[in-house]
Homo-oligomer: A and B are copies of this chain.
Amino acid sequence: MIKGLEIEEKTRFDDLVTNLDKATQELLITKIKQAYPSDHILAEENSVHHDIADGNVWVLDPIDGTVNFVAQGTHFAVMIAYYENGVGQFGLIYDVMNDTLYSGGGQFDVYMNDQKLPPFQDRPLNRFLVGCNANMFANNYHGLRDMIEQTLGVRVYGGAGISMAAVMAGQLMAYFSYIQPWDYAAAKVMGDKLGYVLLTIDGEEPDFTHRQKVMFVPKAKLSTIQTYLSQT
């Protein structure tokens, strides 16, 4: 455990926030407001929830994977995305302990530190691993477990940021979870540039207003995946 860390439970014992989540968010907001005083913020902590469709909006997740942060001291990320009138301009996912920054989207190529990431490389379903929320897998939500059983298997890493970074790095084919706008905003912008799409499990655009069950999947595999998800 990290010395000086203050842990609070939000909705239940495994929904945690720490003083460092809040301090990191405040630092990011202060720096953004200094540079761009009229821009807006949509962020995880303290109910700072500006409408994504209205003007210049910075979407912030100060510590994504707070449970990993608290219990492991690793496998967490800082995530930032910038949208203009609802259109993503770029995203950033920083895997802190591995010192790896994923950046790009919009008019920018996507990089993992200094290495430009290639677009999705297709191969058969049974040569891929898939990242998934553990309960959605275990409950076979919309046939997810049936679909994953056609692949090499499931991985559960416990943070949307590091999981979607693993998708973009080609380590996972796709990622399925039940997450908030600040959990998917950055990956959605970057992924679009690499051949991935971020949609709800029902195939709709996410709404950027509340927690939804979403998938981050290669466009080239979307129809295959949807044949499994059509189960209820």
A: residues with CB less than 8 A from B are 1, 13-14, 67-68, 70-75, 123, 126-129, 134, 137-138, 145, 152-158, 166, 171-172
Q: Closest approach, in angstroms, between the C-beta of A113 and any C-beta of chain B?
A: 15
CB <8 Å contact, B154 and A67: no
Total copies of the chain: 2
Residues of B within 8 Å of A71, CB to CB, are 127-129, 152, 171
The 3 closest A-B pairs by CB, nearest first: A138-B138, A156-B156, A72-B171
Query: How would you classify the secondary structure of chain A's contact residues: helix, strand, loop or mixed?
Result: mixed
Q: A138-B137, A153-B158, A171-B74 are in contact. Are A13 and B128 (CB under 8 A)?
A: no
Given contacts A71-B152, A73-B171, 6 further A-B contacts (CB under 8 A): A14-B153, A67-B129, A67-B153, A129-B158, A134-B156, A153-B158
Q: Closest approach, in angstroms, between the C-beta of A154 and any C-beta of chain B?
A: 5
Q: Which residue of B is nearest A137, CB measured?
A: B138
Q: Which residue of B is nearest A67, CB measured?
A: B152
